[in-house]
């Protein structure tokens, strides 16, 4: 085969889906001429739908998942010297949001089955300075939320969900993002539901809702002003402009209207990988994703675990030669420059290090067709 992808088209890792209605809705926004963020008609519809379907007290659309995480950190009012417990196997955005507020990251290892924060290791890392536990639901498969909520409640610390990958996934029938005091979702182009760049701040703690509206509006009561509740808006607290553009709100609404079909399609593709790759995986010593009981996944990512780093690299290179892009995932944050500066070393979080070295993600996107998926499955089967 060499470098020639053969008669097939390339199979990318991701191809962002654009809902056909997006053009019409964006046109409506442009014609209306109110482009600014957060409180336009489409953004409002998206927020209300998410509040209702996720069972969340308040949803505010943001410019990105990162912006939503930063808003979460501002809402916790962290100070220098505070500690935040979080996984090392996550996007740097999870850590940045809290570290930039002065908090020290306390990295905890992940579970080998779900790649999620290992709830059994959390209590021993809590100190008198711990202010929050930040969980991340890897691949849209929920963390052990009963145990994590109970630890946070018992110890009187905040719980934050990085639900960037987890839109419409659930744990024991309850939506991810509805457990923490606050949570963040991403609508980046790699996510199940996307508007290119976007996110949502989810607020469950009713004591934080007023403050959340300030934080996303540069720390002002601008939303109250827009509702006619105050004669002018003024500076109330620290904040930033975390608003989403109404143009992107329109693109997002077009996708949300199609959410059931998109999620079903993704589930079908994900399940088909699982069935078709079962025998191959056994033969190759690869493991397939595990969905524990009581979890409703959103089929965000289909990942394999190779027996070792060398096999993982060989697999990615083989697929690349066949015109297919598969990819590894997070480099452990505790082994990054900042992690090492905080005192972490190789071997500190063995499961994280092992998963990071051996995980590979296969192409999976809303518009993926059967032929493209066949191409990936056949290419895997041809590895020797
Ligand atoms: C777990 C996690 N957290 C946060 C983010 C940041 O989201 P965004 O790219 O929307 O800023 C991502 C993005 O991929 C992510 O995977």
Per-residue confidence (pLDDT) for residue 9, from 0 to 100 = 63
Residue 34, pLDDT score: 82
* Ligand 1 atom at minimal distance to the Cα of residue 138: 1
**Ligand 1 atom 7 nearest Cα:** 65
Burial of residue 138 (number of CB atoms within 10 Å: 0-12, 13-18, 19+)? buried
Residue 227 C-alpha to ligand 1 middle, in angstroms? 31
Q: Between helices 246-257 and 41-54, what is the axis angle to 10°?
A: 50
Tokens of 360: 């590979």
Q: How confident is the model at residue 5 (pLDDT cuts 50, 70, 90)?
A: very low
- Sign of the Cα pseudo-torsion (62, 63, 66, 71, in order): negative
- Quickly state the pLDDT bin for 8 (edges 50, 70, 90): low
247 CB contacts (<8 Å, ≥6 apart)?
Answer: 26, 29, 30, 35
> Predicted confidence band at 2 (pLDDT cuts at 50, 70, 90)?
very low
Look at residue 108 and tell me whether its pLDDT is greater than 80.
yes
- Does 300 contact ligand 1 (Cβ within 6 A)? no
pLDDT category, 39, cuts 50, 70, 90? confident
Residue 165 Cβ contacting ligand 1 at under 6 Å: yes
pLDDT of residue 3: 39
Residue with tokens 């600014």: 36
Burial of 350 from C-beta contacts in 10 A (0-12 / 13-18 / 19+): exposed
Average pLDDT, stretch 26-46?
Answer: 90
Residue 374 has pLDDT above 80, yes or no: yes
Q: How far is CA 216 from each of CA 59, 72, 77, 228, 369, rounded to the nearest angstrom?
A: 11, 10, 14, 18, 39
pLDDT at 4 over 90: no
135 close to ligand 1 (CB < 6 Angstrom) = no
Domains of the chain: 21-257 (3.40.640.10), 259-381 (3.90.1150.10)
- Residue 33 confidence (pLDDT): 83
Q: Dmax over Cα atoms in the chain, in whole Å?
A: 72
Q: How far, in Å, CA of 141 to CA of 163, rounded?
A: 10
Point out which residues pair with 84 in neighbouring strands: 105, 132
Best mutation site among 61, 62, 91, 202 for ligand 1, i.e. most ligand atoms within 8 A of its Cβ?
91
The tens digit of pLDDT for each residue in 190-212 reads 999 999 999 999 999 999 999 99
Spatial contact of 353 and 332, defined as CB atoms under 8 Å apart: yes
Please state, for a pLDDT cut of 70, what percent of the chain lies above it.
Answer: 98
192 lines ligand 1 (CB under 6 A): no
CB count within 10 Å of CB 67 equals 27
pLDDT at 6: 44
Q: pLDDT per residue over 51-61, tens digit each?
A: 999 999 999 99
């Amino acid at each position: 085969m060499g470098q020639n992808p053969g008669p097939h088209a390339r199979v990318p890792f991701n191809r962002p889906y654009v809902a056909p209605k997006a053009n019409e809705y964006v046109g409506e926004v442009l014609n209306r001429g109110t482009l600014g963020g957060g409180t336009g008609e489409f953004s409002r519809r998206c927020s209300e739908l998410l509040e209702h379907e996720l069972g969340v007290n308040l949803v505010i659309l943001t410019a990105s998942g990162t912006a939503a995480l930063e808003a979460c950190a501002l809402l916790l009012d962290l100070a220098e010297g505070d500690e935040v417990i979080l996984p090392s196997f996550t996007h740097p955005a999870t850590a940045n949001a809290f570290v930039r507020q002065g908090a020290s990251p306390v990295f905890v290892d992940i579970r080998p089955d779900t790649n999620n924060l290992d709830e059994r290791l959390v209590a021993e890392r809590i100190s008198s300075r711990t202010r929050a536990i930040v969980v991340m639901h890897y691949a849209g498969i929920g963390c052990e939320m009963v145990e994590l909520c109970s630890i946070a409640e018992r110890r009187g610390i905040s719980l934050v969900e990085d639900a960037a990958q987890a839109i419409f996934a659930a744990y024991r029938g309850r939506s991810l993002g509805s457990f923490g005091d606050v949570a963040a979702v991403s609508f980046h182009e790699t996510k199940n539901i996307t508007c290119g760049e976007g996110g949502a701040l989810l607020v469950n703690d009713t004591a934080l809702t007023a403050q959340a509206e300030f934080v996303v509006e540069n720390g002002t009561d601008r939303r109250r002003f827009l509702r006619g509740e105050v004669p002018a808006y003024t500076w109330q607290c620290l904040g930033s402009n975390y608003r989403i553009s109404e143009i992107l709100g329109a693109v997002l609404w077009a996708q949300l209207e199609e959410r059931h079909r998109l999620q079903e399609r993704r589930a079908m593709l994900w399940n088909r990988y699982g069935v078709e790759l079962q025998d191959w995986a056994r033969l190759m010593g690869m493991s397939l994703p595990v969905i524990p009981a009581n979890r409703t996944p959103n089929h965000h990512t289909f990942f394999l675990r190779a027996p070792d780093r060398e096999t993982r690299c060989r697999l990615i290179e083989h697929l690349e030669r066949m015109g297919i892009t598969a990819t590894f995932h997070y480099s452990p944050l505790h082994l990054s420059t900042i992690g090492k500066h905080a005192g972490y070393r190789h071997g500190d979080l063995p499961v994280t290090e092992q998963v990071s070295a051996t995980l590979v993600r296969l192409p999976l996107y809303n518009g993926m067709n059967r032929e493209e998926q066949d191409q990936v499955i056949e290419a895997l089967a041809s590895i020797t």
